[in-house]
Amino acid sequence: MAQSPFNLREVKATSSGHEADAKIWNSLKQAIAASSGFKRWQTELLLDKQYRDAGLDHQVRCYLRETLETLAY
């Protein structure tokens, strides 16, 4: 009998980990969206259709990417 690479306990832990990650991301996303820096960035870039039509998740990811690129520079 072939043995599965994951047992049920590992699958449950992985699922729980993804749920926890999703909760953390949602909380972090809401905190970032409430920040003055994000609001200023959002106001400046809402003129761009790409950002105007994007959801909050996409906007926060773009904001974080641009912020990190700026810091790395």
56 or 3: which leads in pLDDT = 56
48 or 27: which leads in pLDDT = 27
pTM: 0.68
One-letter amino acid at 45 equals L
pLDDT band at residue 1, thresholds of 50, 70 and 90?
very low
Please provide the distance, in angstroms rounded to a whole number, between the alpha carbons at the two ends of the chain.
55
Q: In whole angstroms, what is the distance from residue 9 CA to residue 42 CA? A: 43
Phi-psi region of 20 (alpha: psi -120 to 50; beta: other; left: phi over 0): alpha
Pair 45, 51: CB distance under 8 Å:
yes
Pair 61, 29: CB distance under 8 Å:
no
